């Protein structure tokens, strides 16, 4: 059975099933399909599946041409029917792993996916989890379900973890050229997963276990959140001392060793950075360990939207205006530049706080024409002189590349620049930086 599966993978005759067609699953599905594999893309969202069948794509990093070409050749088949799992030789789980209301890991999507696999699985399959989660999930959550009925991992089926490394909007690193970490529950599983991903990805890096692979992903994003928290705290300190933190960072990064620049901002967003370290902190607490760096960094970053609102209020005060009743125009609501993604975006909290304090909110984002979530119901304003001139304060939260920021500055009374996008602009008296 193991020999047969290896041969299928090397001959690209293996059928791949990918559960979840979001920011991770869809690029992966198209990558496998373009490499010559037959791919079933499984998603519970019928509207998403129907749009894909019509040749549309909801992910900016996946081109319409690639979707249409892979579907035309029948290499990629999107479906809501989990029964296709029985026809797959490899099943890859790419479902969300959010936090619940009490800031604890919610692995319900993983559990649902595993139960679907168990219902339809066949002997000789390899199953890979890509969803970011806490160390031990593959072994503690997935393995017991899959071994129900007497099947054994490494003998009847194979199980591995491979953390996703998707950076939406990155023009240089895509699925195929981003190194892939692989960790199996057994040596045979690690080898099979390595062989599978090597067919479509330039570099695959095996590690000794699934638990190590799970920890790798959390280390990567914990490194980022701690350093972002550090630089945000340095920024708050510089503000008190009357020092331009952006100038400090630009000078520090001239050092050719021992320093890596991180930049302050209005908060952190996306699915990974604000969430993944909390998974690690939660797991550590269960073992009697307090992850103090992680918790402190998360706290500092979570306060940044409030700091932005304080900047707005103080800037209005200098113009003899109260925050309540003032018109505030937020520029950019996506969680990062050049992506159409609102997940955990600090803009949402900034808008919510401003509304609660009585401000009149409008926004502009070239990628998101409407905003209807978390009690916010707004349409993007048009990019006109009138829109900016009518605002008492403009707040740049997301620095999309295709926006004329000099035009915004020229036609605004005051601009809160949280991204230092106006660092070379004139009319410095209008600009308030973090």
Q: How far apart are CA 400 and CA 1, in angstroms?
A: 51
Q: How far apart are CA 391 and CA 74, in angstroms?
A: 51
253-260: average pLDDT: 96
pTM: 0.91
Nearest 5°: phi and psi at 159?
-135, 135
pLDDT at 171 over 90: no
Collapse the DSSP code of 415 into the 3-class scheme (helix H, G, I; strand E, B; otherwise coil) and give the result: strand
pLDDT in tens, 141-161: 999 999 999 999 999 999 999
pLDDT in tens, 13-41: 999 999 999 999 999 999 999 999 999 99
Q: What is the model's pLDDT at position 394?
A: 97
Domains of the chain and CATH, by start: 2-208 (3.40.50.720), 218-301 (1.10.1040.10), 303-433 (3.40.50.720)
- Going by C-beta distance under 8 Å and a sequence separation of 6 or more, which residues neighbour residue 51? 57, 58
Both structure tokens of 410: 């020229």
101 confidence band (pLDDT: 50, 70, 90): confident
Distances (CA, A) of 384 to 362, 371, 376, 418: 13, 19, 23, 21
- Going by C-beta distance under 8 Å and a sequence separation of 6 or more, which residues neighbour residue 202? 176, 177, 179
* Active site (annotated) includes residue 272: yes
Least confident of 195-204, 215-224, 275-284, 307-316: 275-284
What secondary structure, in 3-state letters, does 360-388 show? EEEEECCCCCEEEECCEEEECCCCCHHHH
112 confidence band (pLDDT: 50, 70, 90): very high
Mean pLDDT score of the chain = 94
pLDDT at 337 over 80: yes
60 confidence band (pLDDT: 50, 70, 90): confident
Residue of 94, 238, 272, 393 with catalytic role: 272
pLDDT at 271 over 80: no
- Nearest-CA neighbor of 232 among 245, 219, 222, 243? 245
268-295: average pLDDT: 88
Q: What is the model's pLDDT at position 100?
A: 83
């Amino acid at each position: 059975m193991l020999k047969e599966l290896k041969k299928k993978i090397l001959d690209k005759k293996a059928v791949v099933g990918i559960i979840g067609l979001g920011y991770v699953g869809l690029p992966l599905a198209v990558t496998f399909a373009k490499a010559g594999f037959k791919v079933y893309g499984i998603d519970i969202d019928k509207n998403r599946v129907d749009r894909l069948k019509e040749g549309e794509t909801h992910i900016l990093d996946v081109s319409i041409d690639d979707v249409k070409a892979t579907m035309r050749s029948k290499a990629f088949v999107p479906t809501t029917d989990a029964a296709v799992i029985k026809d797959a030789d490899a099943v890859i789980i790419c479902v969300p792993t959010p936090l619940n209301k009490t800031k604890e890991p919610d692995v319900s999507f993983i559990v649902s996916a595993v139960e679907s696999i168990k219902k339809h699985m066949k002997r000789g399959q390899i199953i890979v989890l890509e969803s970011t989660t806490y160390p031990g999930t593959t072994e503690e959550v997935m393995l017991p379900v899959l071994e129900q009925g007497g099947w054994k991992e490494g003998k009847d089926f194979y199980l591995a973890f491979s953390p996703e490394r998707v950076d939406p909007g990155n023009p240089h690193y895509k699925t195929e050229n981003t190194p892939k970490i692989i960790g199996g529950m057994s040596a045979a599983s690690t080898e099979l997963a390595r062989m599978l991903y090597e067919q479509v990805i330039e570099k695959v890096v095996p590690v000794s276990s699934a638990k190590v692979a799970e920890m790798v992903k959390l280390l990567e994003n914990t490194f980022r959140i701690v350093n972002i928290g550090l630089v945000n705290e340095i920024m708050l300190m510089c503000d008190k001392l009357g020092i331009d933190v952006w100038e400090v960072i630009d000078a520090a990064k001239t050092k050719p060793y021992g320093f890596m620049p991180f930049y302050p901002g209005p908060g952190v967003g996306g699915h990974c950075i604000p969430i993944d370290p909390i998974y690690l902190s939660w797991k550590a607490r269960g073992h009697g360990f307090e992850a103090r760096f992680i918790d402190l960094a998360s706290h500092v970053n979570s306060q940044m939207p409030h700091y932005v609102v304080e900047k707005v209020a103080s800037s209005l005060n200098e113009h003899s205006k109260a925050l309540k009743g003032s018109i505030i125009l937020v520029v950019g609501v996506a969680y990062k530049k050049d992506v159409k993604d609102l997940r955990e975006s600090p803009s949402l909290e900034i808008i919510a706080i401003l509304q609660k304090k009585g401000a009149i909110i409008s926004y502009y984002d070239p990628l998101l024409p409407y905003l209807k979530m978390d009690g916010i119901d707004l349409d993007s304003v048009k990019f006109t002189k009138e829109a900016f001139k009518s605002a008492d304060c403009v707040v740049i939260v997301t620095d999309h590349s295709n926006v004329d920021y000099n035009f915004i500055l020229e036609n605004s009374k005051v601009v809160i620049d949280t991204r230092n996008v106006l660092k070379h602009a004139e009319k410095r008296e209008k600009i308030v930086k973090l």
